[in-house]
Amino acid sequence: MLSIIPTPIGNLKDITIRAKEMLAACDAIICEDTRVTGQLLKLLELPKKEFISFHGYTDEGKADYIVQRLQKGEHLCLVSDAGTPGISDPGYIVVSRVRAAGLQIEALPGPSAFLVALSASGLPINQFLYLGFLPLKKGRQTLLQSFQSEERTIVFYESPHRIQKTLAELATVLSEQPERVVVIARELTKMHEQIIYTSISSLEKESKEMTVKGEFTVVLGPHP
């Protein structure tokens, strides 16, 4: 069986009891970075495990190997560096191959940065649009322009290197909607967590004043 195990996005206490039990009991753990997952097991005081590293789309052969091991009856856990596997990180290929092979999959609920940001945002979230990381070039401008008429709350991930540039682009493309809400969630669940609630009209000022370190998730309110 393949168990998909979300792991904390910052606060170690966000691991679930079930996730810990699975990680302790499985035969091996499929992970992105063996050092990150090794450190997680150590902090959770879990026994050492065999790691099968899996980085993404280039690991086609590895996906076959994982399927073969599951076919032998092994219990493998899939984790990513943080959060829910497959949400803007490797994992999808493994799950799709295992699913295609007709093998048993169990997915545990757990942390994901975009869900924490949405729930803290105070914006309407009965419906929302999750975009992962915005495209760097192709389609970027068209996508940003589509935000002008989007009636759902939008949530996306951004790196510290690009956050200010992206916020400046948002301010430009939405300059005719100055009251539209933007929530910048930084370092969620960590010691230096910061949630900036602002609007398009103040976005550039806020962006220049904020600390540009750590991990960012941006939530944009719907078209008024």
Binding site for ligand SAM (CB under 6 A): 9-10, 80, 82-84, 87-89, 112-114, 157-159, 185, 187-190, 215-217
Smallest gap, in angstroms, from Cβ of residue 57 to ligand SAM?
Answer: 14
Token digits of residue 67 = 């399927």
Token digits of residue 149 = 């008429």
What letter represents residue 142's amino acid?
T
- Cβ nearer to ligand SAM, comparing 132 with 178: 132
What sign does the CA torsion over 135, 138, 141, 146 have?
negative
Q: Nearest residue to ligand SAM, using CB?
A: 83
Smallest gap, in angstroms, from Cβ of residue 77 to ligand SAM?
Answer: 15
Smallest gap, in angstroms, from Cβ of residue 74 to ligand SAM?
Answer: 24
- Distance from chain centroid for Cα 69: 27
What letter represents residue 90's amino acid?
P
Smallest gap, in angstroms, from Cβ of residue 163 to ligand SAM?
Answer: 9
3-state SS, 35-91, equals HHHHHHHHHCCCCCCEEEECCCCCCHHHHHHHHHHHHCCCCEEECCCCECCCCCCCC
Closest CA to 77 of 45, 57, 55, 106: 106
- Cβ nearer to ligand SAM, comparing 33 with 50: 33
Q: What is the largest CA-CA distance in the chain?
A: 59
- Cβ nearer to ligand SAM, comparing 10 with 222: 10
Closest CA to 177 of 150, 216, 197: 150
- Cβ nearer to ligand SAM, comparing 9 with 203: 9
- Cβ nearer to ligand SAM, comparing 51 with 130: 130
CA within 13 Å, CB half, 14: 19
Cα separation of 6 and 12, whole Å? 12
- Cβ nearer to ligand SAM, comparing 70 with 79: 79
- Cβ nearer to ligand SAM, comparing 36 with 101: 36
